Amino acid sequence: MAVTLDDIRAAAGLLEGQVVRTPSVPARRLAEASGASAVVLKLENLQYTGSFKDRGALNKLLGLSPAEASAGVIAMSAGNHAQGVAYHAQRLGIPATIVMPRGTPFIKVERTRSFGARVMLEGESIDAAAVFARELAAHEGLIFVHPYDDERIIAGQGTIGLEMLADDPDLDTLVVPIGGGGLISGIATAVKGLSPDTRVIGVEPETSAALHLALEAGERVEIKPVSVADGLNAPHAGRNALEIAKERVDEVVLVTEAELEEAFRLLYSRAKLAVEPAGAASTAALIAGKIPHEPGEHVALVVSGGNVSPETASAILASR
């Protein structure tokens, strides 16, 4: 496998004190509704840039040689990865270029620029932006930072798994949203390395199920994802993520758009959390009865991010 438990432990040492050690908070109403003994929410929305992406981005940047750091980095992203790379590159004094698809919401563009990055709007899709970013990287000698299929990115995201087991060594089931697969592959590597009997279950929207389809096919599948959970709209699973998931992820379940929106409203009204729809995916799977567990088990849900626009939040809350 491309990433090991030792890689994640090394990442944890590098990240200590430089990213938020986010809390795992009890969600008693979710426990009552699901029949679990305990349900906790791992609040990655409390990271400085609002998502788990801080972890992988910083781990990648800290692994650059002095020459690579001096040359600068480039990433393609329409949201959270862009902000994670831009923010930590600014902190470390590394020049950063972020390529975003044309049509990226203005607030995301400005937020990324606020961290000092050169932002370029190219292509009508994230795939088109990626092609441009790789060409520019080759032309300018920049280091390309992939959002989910880089070993150091995966290892950084895996530090979440170490923290969750430290908070609850008796964890029975851990539920993780899936986009390209970097988050779940890192967490699964950490969890299976320390607690092999703990189940790791991934969640994808029915309309954006790149990893689920790849696992069924046994190879990477290209899709055209369309979900309100835009943070999970990856056109394909990462190659490293797919290989790791085959061995270390127990199951991938699918949720509907209505289930995602209902989970968003529940977290907003009951838990007082304004998360992005992608961050509500784990909760959606639990309240929809799609997470297998026995009464009395401990279940943890990763809330992956909180970068929801006021327009999206208002639309979902008004659609009840």
Domain 53-144 is found in CATH 3.40.50.1100: yes
Mean pLDDT to the nearest integer, 261-285: 94
Q: Over 90: is that where the pLDDT of 276 sits?
A: yes
Tell me what pLDDT residue 293 has. 83
Between CA 122 and CA 103 the distance in angstroms is: 9
Q: What is the mean pLDDT of residues 212-226?
A: 93
What is the band of 283 on the pLDDT scale with cuts at 50, 70, 90?
A: very high
Strands (E), the chain: 24-26, 38-43, 73-76, 96-100, 118-121, 143-144, 173-177, 199-205, 251-255, 298-303
Catalytic annotation on 304? yes
- Out of 53, 60, 108, 192, the active site residue is 53
Over residues 71-91, mean pLDDT: 95
Task: Dump pLDDT digits (tens) for 22-67.
Answer: 999 999 888 887 778 899 999 999 999 999 999 999 999 999 999 9
Q: What is the mean pLDDT of residues 278-288?
A: 96
Nearest alpha-carbon partner for 273 in 227, 305, 314: 305
Q: pLDDT for 248-268, tens place per residue?
A: 999 999 999 999 999 999 999
Q: What would the two tokens of residue 2 be?
A: 């491309």
Question: Residue 76 — φ and ψ, nearest 5°?
Answer: -115, 135
Q: What is the pLDDT of residue 1?
A: 65
Count the neighbouring beta carbons within 10 Å of the beta carbon of residue 271. Answer: 18
Q: Tell me which range, 89-93, 111-115, 233-237, 309-313, is most confidently predicted by mean pLDDT.
A: 89-93
Buried b / exposed e over 199-235, threshold 16 CB at 10 Å, is bbbbbbbebbbbbbbbbeeeeebebebebbbbbbbbb
Amino acid at 129: A
CA distance between the termini of the chain = 44
Q: What is the location of CATH 3.40.50.1100 in the chain?
A: 5-52+150-318, 53-144
DSSP annotation of 44: G
Q: Class for domain 5-52+150-318, per CATH?
A: alpha beta
